[in-house]
Structures are given as C-alpha cells and as structure tokens.
Structure 1
Amino acid sequence: MTTFDNREKAFEDKFAYDAETAFRIAARRNRLLGLWAAEQMKLTPEEADAYAKAVVQADFEEAGDDDVIRKLVGDLTAAGIDVTDHAVRRALEEKTVEARRQLLESK
C-alpha cells in the first residue's frame, strides 16, 4: 500500500468510528430521555423500560431529533403533564452530555 492508500484507509476508519460513536451516543441519549419521561409519567420500572425502548425506536422514523421530541411532548401531554417543546429540547441536550460521558467512561 502506498502512503496515500494508508491515509485514505485511516480516514475511512476514523469516519466509520465517529459515525458508530455518534449512533451509540444518540441511542443511549434516547434511552435516558425515555427514562426521564417515564419518571415524569410515574411509570413502573417495567413500563419505563418498555417506554425507553419505544423512544429509541422512534428515532429511526426520520432524520434528526424532531421525531423523538414530538413523541415525548405528545406522550407527556397525553399523560396530563404540562411540558413544552423547549423543556424537552433542554432535557435532550442534558441527556446527550450524560450519554457521551457514560459512553466515554465505559471504554
């Protein structure tokens, strides 16, 4: 392999690693968000776990975070909890930081 080939392979490997890491952080963040919302709705531990999985699954519907935010706002509102889009976005940001920290600590 030439030096150019080695650099290209290294770049591709780094890109794949970064994409996988971003995916893992988003999935962990969504699970944490689901648990946060479940706590707000006073769900049982079993219901909270199932709900967190549903929030992770909701992220696969479209690109970006809007699908997750819509789900959380809709579910919390349906449960009689007064929540704003802004509050959910703030929780999303907080859980992103927490998910990144957890992922980095587990390595």
Structure 2
Amino acid sequence: MTNSDDTVKTMLRNKLLGRWAAERLGLTGLDAETYAEGFAKGANDPANSDVFSKIHRDFEAAGIAESDERILNVMTELTLKAGNLIPTAQGDSTSAAAVTLARKLM
C-alpha cells in the first residue's frame, strides 16, 4: 500500500468509526453524517487526527460508559475493514481507492 492508500484507508476507517460513535451518541441523520465526516476529514489534519481522544471526550461528556479497550478494539476492527474495502489492483490504486471510498460512503 502506498502512503496515499494509507491516507484513504485512514479516512475510511475514521468515517466508519465516526458512524459507530455517532450511533452510540444517539445522533441520527444529518447530525450523524456530519459527525462522521469530521472524523474522515481529520485524517489529513494533524490537529484533528486523534480520533480516539475525541471519541473518549465525546462519550465522557455524554455520560456514555465505554472502555478505552472497547474503543481501541472497534478502531482495530474498522481499520481491518477499511483495508479490505480498498482495491489492490495494479495501476493507479489511489484513484481506485478514492472511487471505492466514495461509493462506500454514500
């Protein structure tokens, strides 16, 4: 995987993670999607890339009891899932990965 593929994988993982967290927070519809999008965009922004801490803070603020271990396990599961969703065909894998990401996120 190239660095671009890693970025796409992280964006996809963060989007899936954002959706998981949004569901736990009781967010639905546009609110949930906006929350998840913020996580996906954070993959390219070092100041917002610590999704674990953000989820931990958001859960704590909402009174949701979720262990750090559980959050980390979900992050690992979704990292693996994101990796499986990215094509491994030769050629311009970054473009293919971006197309796949766009399709999966819609």
TM-score by length of 2: 0.73
User: Does residue 93 of structure 1 match 2:76?
Assistant: yes
SS in structure 1 of the partner of residue 82 of structure 2: helix
Report how far residue 95 of structure 1 moved. Answer: 0.4
Identical-residue share of aligned pairs (%): 30
Q: 1:32 aligns with which of 16, 32, 43?
A: 16
What is aligned with 1:103? 86
Provide structure 2 residue ranges, at least 5 long, that are not aligned to the other structure. Answer: 89-99, 101-106
1:90 & 1:22 partners in 2: Cα distance? Answer: 19
Provide structure 1 residue ranges, at least 5 long, that are not aligned to the other structure. Answer: 1-16
Look at both structures and tell me which one has the larger radius of gyration over its CA atoms: 1
Report matched runs for 1:56-71 at 5 Å. Answer: 56-59=40-43, 60-62=45-47, 67-71=50-54
TM-score by length of 1: 0.73
2:85 & 2:59 partners in 1: Cα distance? Answer: 26
User: Does residue 78 of structure 1 match 2:61?
Assistant: yes
Q: Which has the higher contact order (CA 8 A, sep 6+)?
A: 2
May I ask how many residue pairs the two structures share in their alignment? 89
SS in structure 2 of the partner of residue 104 of structure 1: coil
Q: CA RMSD in A?
A: 2.3
2:87 & 2:63 partners in 1: Cα distance? Answer: 36
- Contact 2:19 2:36 (C-alpha < 8 Å) held by counterparts: yes
2:47 & 2:30 partners in 1: Cα distance? Answer: 27
Per-residue deviation, residues 72-106 of structure 1 (Å, max 9, x unmatched): 11111111110122111111000001111112384
What is aligned with 1:11? none
User: Does residue 47 of structure 1 match 2:31?
Assistant: yes
